[in-house]
Structure 1
Amino acid sequence: MVFNKYKMYVIAFFGAIFFTFSGYYVLLMVGNNTIGPQLSRYITIPLRVFIVLLLGICFLLVGKKKSFKQLPFLAFLTFSLLYLLRIALEMLKGTANHISNESFLLYFLSFGFLPFLILYLKEDLELDQKLYRSAMLISGALLAIFTLLFYRDLIGTVGRISLAVSRDENYISPLALSYSASLTMGISLILLLSKAKGVSKWFLLVVAGLSCVPFFLGASRGSVMALIFPFLLFIVNQKNKLKSFYLLAALVFAGAIIVILSSYFGSNIIERFTSIGDGIQSGSSSAERIVIWEIALEHFKRNPLLGFGLESPETGNYPHNIFVEVLLTTGILGFIPFVYLVIKAVLNALFIFKYVPHKAWIGLIFLECLIQNQFSGGIYTASWLWFSMAFVLAADYKVNYMQERLDYIETLDEERMVTHGR
Structure 2
Amino acid sequence: MKISITKYFQKIHLPLILIIGSLYISLISNYLGPPNMVLTAPVLFVGFAMSIYLIHKTKFFSQHFNLTEQIFFLFTLIYFSNLFIDTILLPQKKILTSYATSGMLLLYITCFGFITSLSVKNKNNFDEKTILRIFFFLGTLGMLIALPAMKNVVRGVSQYDTGRADVGEGLNAITMGRFSISIFIIAFYVFLKEKKVSYRILSVFSMLLCLLVAALTGSRGPFVTLALVILFFFLVQKNTKNVLRFMVVSLLLFVLLKGTILNFLESRGASIFIRMEQAIYEQNFSGRTQKYLDALHSFQENPIFGHYFVLDKGENAGGHPHNLLLEVLITTGLLGIIPFLYILLSNLKKSVWVISKDAPWAWIHLLSIQYILASMFSFSLTKSPGVWILIYFVASYNKNILKQADSKNE
With the length of structure 1 as denominator, give the TM-score of the two structures: 0.80
Whole-angstrom distance in 2 between the partners of 1:84 and 1:170:
27
State the Cα deviation string for residues 129-151 of structure 1 (Å, max 9, x = none). Answer: 23431332133112112123434
What is the CA distance between 1:311 and its match in structure 2? Answer: 1.0
What is the CA distance between 1:276 and its match in structure 2? Answer: 0.6
Q: Report if the CA contact (8 A) 1:178-1:214 is conserved.
A: yes
Q: Match of 1:21? A: 19
Whole-angstrom distance in 1 between the partners of 2:32 and 2:408:
55
In structure 1, give the amino acid aligned to 2:274. E
Q: Match of 1:116? A: 117
Distance change in 2, residues 1:210/1:164 (3 Å): closer
Q: Report if the CA contact (8 A) 1:33-1:170 is conserved.
A: no
Q: Match of 1:253? A: 251
Q: Report if the CA contact (8 A) 2:309-2:330 is conserved.
A: yes
Q: Match of 2:92? A: 95
> Mind listing any 5+ residue stretches in structure 2 that lack a counterpart?
154-159
What is the CA distance between 1:61 and its match in structure 2? Answer: 3.5
Corresponding residue SS for 1:379? coil
Q: Match of 1:72? A: 68
> Mind listing any 5+ residue stretches in structure 1 that lack a counterpart?
155-159, 412-422
Correspondent of 1:339 among 330, 338, 341: 341
Q: How large is the RMSD of aligned CA atoms in angstroms?
A: 3.6
Q: Report if the CA contact (8 A) 2:164-2:218 is conserved.
A: no
What is the CA distance between 1:256 and its match in structure 2? Answer: 4.8
Q: Does 2:215 match 1:216?
A: yes
Q: Report if the CA contact (8 A) 1:14-1:131 is conserved.
A: no
What is the CA distance between 1:224 and its match in structure 2? Answer: 0.6
Corresponding residue SS for 1:138? helix
State the Cα deviation string for residues 326-368 of structure 1 (Å, max 9, x = none). Answer: 0010011101111111112212211122111675322211111
Q: Report if the CA contact (8 A) 1:55-1:115 is conserved.
A: yes
Distance change in 2, residues 1:332/1:151 (3 Å): closer
Q: Match of 2:356? A: 354
Q: Match of 1:295? A: 294
More helix by share: 1
Distance change in 2, residues 1:31/1:335 (3 Å): same
State the Cα deviation string for residues 240-292 of structure 1 (Å, max 9, x = none). Answer: 5x447626845973895697635532232232212114554xxx6x1511111
In structure 2, give the amino acid aligned to 1:390. Y
Distance change in 2, residues 1:127/1:88 (3 Å): closer
Corresponding residue SS for 2:123? coil
In structure 2, give the amino acid aligned to 1:71. L
Q: Report if the CA contact (8 A) 1:188-1:204 is conserved.
A: yes
Deviates most, 243-252 or 15-24: 243-252
Q: Report if the CA contact (8 A) 1:12-1:57 is conserved.
A: no
Deviates most, 324-333 or 243-252: 243-252
Q: Report if the CA contact (8 A) 1:140-1:184 is conserved.
A: yes
Q: Match of 2:224? A: 225
Q: Match of 2:206? A: 207
Corresponding residue SS for 1:125? helix
In structure 2, give the amino acid aligned to 1:109. C
Q: Match of 2:365? A: 363
1:252-271 to 2 correspondence within 5 Å? 253=251, 256=254, 261-262=261-262, 264-266=264-266, 267-271=270-274
Whole-angstrom distance in 1 between the partners of 2:217 and 2:330:
29
Q: Report if the CA contact (8 A) 1:26-1:139 is conserved.
A: no
Distance change in 2, residues 1:235/1:357 (3 Å): farther
Q: Report if the CA contact (8 A) 1:107-1:381 is conserved.
A: yes
Overall identity of the aligned pairs, in %: 18
- The structure with the largest alpha-carbon Rg is 1
Corresponding residue SS for 1:51? helix
Whole-angstrom distance in 2 between the partners of 1:152 and 1:377:
21
State the Cα deviation string for residues 168-215 of structure 1 (Å, max 9, x = none). Answer: x78841222221111111111133234578992233223223333422
1:405-416 to 2 correspondence within 5 Å? none
Q: Does 2:15 match 1:30?
A: no
Q: Match of 2:156? A: none
State the Cα deviation string for residues 18-49 of structure 1 (Å, max 9, x = none). Answer: 3531331222122222225xx11323333322
What is the CA distance between 1:15 and its match in structure 2? Answer: 4.3
Paired residue total: 391
Q: Report if the CA contact (8 A) 1:16-1:55 is conserved.
A: no
Q: Match of 2:390? A: 388
Whole-angstrom distance in 1 between the partners of 2:195 and 2:354:
13
With the length of structure 2 as denominator, give the TM-score of the two structures: 0.82
Q: Match of 2:324? A: 322
What is the CA distance between 1:72 and its match in structure 2? Answer: 1.8
Whole-angstrom distance in 1 between the partners of 2:41 and 2:404:
42
In structure 1, give the amino acid aligned to 2:20. S
In structure 2, give the amino acid aligned to 1:334. G
Whole-angstrom distance in 2 between the partners of 1:245 and 1:322:
31
In structure 1, give the amino acid aligned to 2:89. L
State the Cα deviation string for residues 100-144 of structure 1 (Å, max 9, x = none). Answer: 23233222111x221122323xx3325342343133213311211
Distance change in 2, residues 1:358/1:166 (3 Å): closer
Q: Match of 1:420? A: none
Q: Match of 2:279? A: 276
